[in-house]
Amino acid sequence: MSPDPGVNASPEPLLKNSDLYNVNEHLPEDERGTYRTGKKQLDYIIVSSALKNKLSDVCIDRKGIYTRNGNPYPTVTSRRTEASDHGAVVALFAL
């Protein structure tokens, strides 16, 4: 049985499509990372050009990640209690 082609597939074909937009690009380059370290972007919200025009704000919510120098939720006290090792991409649109 062959592996699922969607597993670990690169988002590169979508990111190269000029009609689509990675909302993380709305952020400064050094704030786009979604993995624990904040250096690597592994999570995306990709929208159409029409929806991009309605984009009002983007942030990476890292409060569910445990890090020594972060600002997690009070219940996130270790890696065992963290929600994930990825921050959530949050996008707000003015519709």
Range of the domain at 65: 12-93
Give me the half-sphere count of Cα atoms (radius 13 Å) on the Cβ side of residue 14.
Answer: 12
* Residue 82 pLDDT class (50, 70, 90 cuts): very high
Instruction: Confirm whether 58 is domain-assigned.
Output: yes
CB-based contact 95:45 (threshold 8 Å): no
Continuous H helices in the chain: 12-15, 49-52
Give tens-digit pLDDT for 22-76.
999 999 999 999 988 788 899 999 999 999 999 999 999 999 999 877 789 999 9
Q: Are strands 20-22 and 46-48 parallel, antiparallel or unpaired?
A: antiparallel
**Domains: count for the chain:** 1
Establish if 48 belongs to a structural domain: yes
Residues in the chain: 95
